[in-house]
Structure 1
Amino acid sequence: MISDTPKAAIYQSDDFAARLRKRYAAERRFKMYGVVAIGVALGMLAILLTSIVGQGYTAFAQHDLALEVFFDPAEIDPQGSRDPAVISNANYGALARTALQAVFPEVEQRTDRRRLTSMISNGAAFELRQMVIDDPSLIGTRKQVRIPLASDYDQVLKGNIDRTLPETSRKVTDQQIAWVDKLVANGQIVNGFNWRLFANGDSRDPELAGLKAGLVGSLLTLMVTLGLAIPIGISAAVYLEEFAPKNKLTDLIEVNINNLAAVPSIVFGLLGLAVFLNAFNMPRSAPVVGGIVLALMTLPTIIIAGRAALKAVPPSIREAALGVGASPLQVVTHHVLPLAMPGILTGVIIGMAHALGETAPLLMIGMIAFIVDTPGGFGDASTVLPVQIFMWADSPERGFVERTSAAIMVLLAFLIGMNAIAVFLRKQFERRW
């Protein structure tokens, strides 16, 4: 039966208009949900970054004591032999304490003097010793030097320890705060860039703790990871996508690669502990072991992304190359791989970002060790930035709180720099067809 109602009348009916308005309203709500979700994500990111920067930016500056130190020959080199062994074993802490006590001659009681000299960091003696070792002519002279201020007093000056709290609620007494204020009024406490944060290794004293060992260890570990994961991952992706026969064996390999991408990272740490350390007796806490473990962890990501990039290259590229006489290997190396390189580099970026922030597998192979000296090679004991952050976050001192946030900022800057290099290379390889 044919309806007598014209089609135009159906599309212009009130029922149709209501359904159309309902559909448009649903689309607007969906867009609004998307905008709200993005806004919430950006808000959470802003809160996180604000918290990290707010707690960590003060770590990039540090207060020092500016004191006139007398390099007493009777203390440093009584025999005048200039023997490096004698100079190195002198009591340089006594020189720093004498210089500070000269500023407060009214402090005479032993207890008060002990409180006064607690303002001097333990690292002052090491820095004074290094100055004399570098320049023995300082012996017997007076010189204005800058020595590190102990962390608690540094935190008071930065406002991280509230001086308005009752004396029993803070580590620094009212008397010590008065001494700090006098030194500030005399210009004997100076604030400047915290070079120790980047020049020193780890330390039990917050004012001396630095990131140098962690930075070098992270760089060495990532060099091993890149050197293994990139060539092996790209080669595996090319073989599986372009050359491997389609049979049950390759299907099993593909399934296992996809499953490995979802395996918890600590499992790779257990693998490194059982195989590389226990079975192969490789050095514990070494960047070479950490790099191998991280390379195994990132290989599935690189292989999966590489195969997806190769698959995205149009078949016409392969057919055209084969049509002009190119061999299958030439098709892949001269035509397919260059066009797939931007996508492959995207997988490398994701894999390296994952590796740079990993802590659990490195803890399993012993990279949680307290490392003061900077590693000199791939086999030396080392730590990495994520482990350094983990260790500092576990320390109760207020000075380590700001250093933890500062280390996170450095890690993020390191990651952004790596990503910027990878994005630049991806743009260089990018081609249109």
Structure 2
Amino acid sequence: MTDATANVRIDRLRSGLKARYARERRFKAYGLLAIAVAVGFLVLLLGRIIDQGHTAFYSHTVTVPVYMDPARVDRAYPQGTNFEQLVAEQQLRRLGVIDDAQGTKATEMRRLFSSELKFVAAERVQQNPGIIGQTLPLAAPISDDADLYFKGEISSATPQDQRRLSDQQIQWLDRMKADGLVASHFNTGLFTKGDSTEAELAGVLGAVIGSALMLLVTALIAIPLGVGAAVYLEEFAPKNRLTDIIEVNINNLAAVPSIIYGLLGLALFINWMHLPRASPLVGGLVLALMALPTIIIATRSSLKAVPPSIREAALAMGASKTQTVFQHTLPLAMPGVMTGAIISMAHALGETAPLLLIGMISFVPGLPHSFTEPTGALPSLVYIWENASERAFHERTAAAILVLLAFMIVMNAGAILLRRRFERRW
């Protein structure tokens, strides 16, 4: 009986071990499946953005021979010359197309070129007035629709009433390409120009500068205040009901939706303090309010991670409480403090809702030069371009998202490197 009972118990133990090992294997499989699903969605999202936005990083130009007709080019004020009409008419003659009395063909030809053409031609004449009366090659920027056609985004197989280019315009573009006049190149204008109502001239530089100015204001306000508040609450504040209430509210503020901070900024900074609307100053103040709870929580966690023996040793050597905190505790907690600050800045960089409420959804051409000028930001620029009717803005939306993601990846990578470089194991 004894041997039989022992065998039964051993069998039960073995079956229990098998069941436990099976549960562990299933748990690991579920974890790997969850990671695979998350990575799959991330790859799908990034792949979709890259597929839509990679075409924005290159563009096309058409190099056409242009006769600078002395009768039509104003030597004293070349900007007043209608270069678009001049180029269109000469291109029609080169292609052997006869225009009607209303100039319909010339109008269709003009739509293939960007309005930037007149500024490029005027600059050439202004730099060298001697070219008037000569025929010279001019690298003419083309319109967004013509550029999309060369990129394969517009197809001639699509019915004419469903595309913005007519069959005649497509034939002219094919003829230009066959003659070797069309060239593709890296779209430097995407990174060197500000926003524009014309998709082929729009760039992200203005939004990048606006985001940088806002983050500078945010960092100058949120990091000192956040670190100072965290040091006081963790090291100096007495533990009573008041500090408990403050800690609970700080944790609650970290979970408040960002649009609430936008409403607060609208009411406080714009309606009450009358600060400039849609300026980096207001945007930075709103983002600073939003980043403060995150910085305070991260700093307090870093201070708590410093072993009490460090404080006790400093105090035993005769250091004051202030000297202990600022000469020993805080320097040792600095890697975590810097990591929390950088992550909070990266989070603020990608916020959109607060910026929409303080007016950063309006069209702002050019580049900002101060903290009080109206400007845009990368998240608001993505919102504006995605809502634009022109199809070419959609590819630039994806390109702007890639630029924003690149900045956020760099900032998060910097936080990880700083932590690994300065972190100490206790």
TM range (shorter): over 0.9
Alpha carbons of 1:261 and 1:372: their partners in 2 closer, same or farther (altered >3 Å)? same
Q: CA deviation at 1:108?
A: 2.2
Structure-2 separation of matches of 1:95 and 1:319: 84
How many angstroms does 1:107 deviate by?
3.6
Give the 3-state SS of the residue equivalent to 1:41 in structure 2.
helix
1:6-405 equivalence runs, <5 A: 9=6, 13-77=10-74, 82=76, 86-109=77-100, 110-405=103-398
Residues in 2 aligned to 1:341 and 1:134: alpha-carbon distance in whole angstroms:
55
CA contact (8 A) 2:79 2:119 kept: no
Q: Show structure 2 runs of 5+ residues with no match.
A: none
**1:103 and 1:415, CA in 2 relative to 1: closer, same or farther beyond 3 A?**
farther
Name the CA shift for 1:43/1:314 in 2 (closer, same or farther; >3 Å): same
> Which moves more between the two structures, 291-300 or 150-159?
150-159
C-alpha separation in 2, matches of 1:162 and 1:88? 35
Aligned-partner SS, 1:75: coil
SS at 1:368 equivalent: coil
Normalization by structure 2: what TM-score?
A: 0.94
Distance across 1 between alignment mates of 2:20 and 2:62: 71
Give ranges in structure 1 of 5+ residues lacking alignment.
Answer: none
Q: How many equivalent pairs are there?
A: 424
> What is the distance in 2 between the residues matched to 1:414 and 1:134?
38
1:302 & 1:10 partners in 2: Cα distance? Answer: 61
- The DSSP-based 3-state class of the residue aligned with 1:13 is helix
* Percent identity over paired residues: 51
Task: Verify the 8 A CA contact 2:85 2:110 in the aligned structure 1.
Answer: no
Q: In 1, Cα distance between the equivalents of 2:317 and 2:114?
A: 75
CA distance in 2, matches of 1:311, 1:259: 20
Q: 1:326 to 1:170 in 2, by over 3 A?
A: same
Higher mean C-alpha deviation, range 119-128 or range 308-317:
119-128
Q: 1:99 to 1:248 in 2, by over 3 A?
A: farther
- Matched residue SS, 1:145: strand
